[in-house]
A = this chain, B = another copy of it.
Amino acid sequence: MIIRNKEMAKIIKNNKVKDGIFLMSIEDNGIAKSASPGQFVHIRVSDTYYPLLRRPLSIHNTEGPVFEILYKVIGIGTKILSEKKEGEKLDAIGPLGKGFNSQLAISNSQLAIIIGGGMGVAPLYFLAKVINSKLKTQNSKLKILLGAKNKDQLIYEKFEEFGNVSLTTEDGSIEYKGLVTDLLLSTLNSQLSTLFACGPIGMLRIVKAFAIKHKIPCEMSLEENMCCGIGACLSCAVKVRTQKSEVRSQISYKYVCKDGPVFKAEEIEI
């Protein structure tokens, strides 16, 4: 576990890439070197008390000692983040949480499907990159499905290096018109598939139902309001159902920051 002290990471770049969406490159060898896809960093955007809490943001990519975050301006925290300049220091803790099990893509399937909706694409680039490099030596394939409201919100360009990318927009402004989950059935050409998903809760519910119906191993990254980011406050609870026997199941909670953000689709109640 890497412990970041205050203001040790350095901002290398912070550019707008789409309407309200920014890409920040941050130099921090400790975080960049130990990160794996699906993990996140917990960022203090201001040294005043407003906003007070850190903001969780997925690791979008790493390149040597540098890692990237891809984020959308939602409220005050991401607004302040978007105004930071090259050269400024950043107080980031990470990498945190349990990421995707990219090994699944190889050991379990002939087809790895990555599906992302909206800002859900953020952790998926890093995942695609890792899976892609592993698959090269395998007989399996990678298929990427990305969707957003419209063209201006769809982050897909960088994914095209992996080939096999399908795009959807709700307004049809690029490729298919509709929801990204609409593509799932036609993509699924083999029972030996694995699904990796990140996106809005509505999308994840569809993906989960699909995976269970088709009995496909599926991992998905969840979001929940966080405080500590390290398992101390019990804030980021998600319901899990443990099957105690055929007829009895039990509800309890797991934590996005510590047990997740990536969970197996079948274990979570969403």
Residues of A within 8 A of B (CB): 48-50, 76
Complex alpha-carbon distance, A31 and B47, angstroms: 33
Chain B contacts of A76 at CB under 8 A?
48
- Using CB atoms, name the residue of chain B closest to A51: B48
Complex alpha-carbon distance, A49 and B52, angstroms: 11
Query: Which 4 A-B residue pairs are closest in the complex by CB-CB distance?
Result: A50-B50, A48-B50, A49-B50, A48-B76
Complex alpha-carbon distance, A48 and B83, angstroms: 14
Complex alpha-carbon distance, A48 and B46, angstroms: 11
- Using CB atoms, name the residue of chain B closest to A52: B50
Min CB–CB distance A210 → chain B (angstroms): 43
Complex alpha-carbon distance, A48 and B45, angstroms: 13
Complex alpha-carbon distance, A48 and B50, angstroms: 7
Chain B contacts of A50 at CB under 8 A?
48-50
Complex alpha-carbon distance, A195 and B124, angstroms: 72
5 A–B contacts, CB within 8 A, in A order: A48-B48, A48-B50, A48-B76, A49-B50, A50-B50
Complex alpha-carbon distance, A50 and B50, angstroms: 6
Complex alpha-carbon distance, A49 and B49, angstroms: 9
- Using CB atoms, name the residue of chain B closest to A50: B50
Chain B contacts of A49 at CB under 8 A?
50
- Using CB atoms, name the residue of chain B closest to A46: B48
Min CB–CB distance A82 → chain B (angstroms): 15
Min CB–CB distance A88 → chain B (angstroms): 12
Chain B contacts of A48 at CB under 8 A?
48, 50, 76
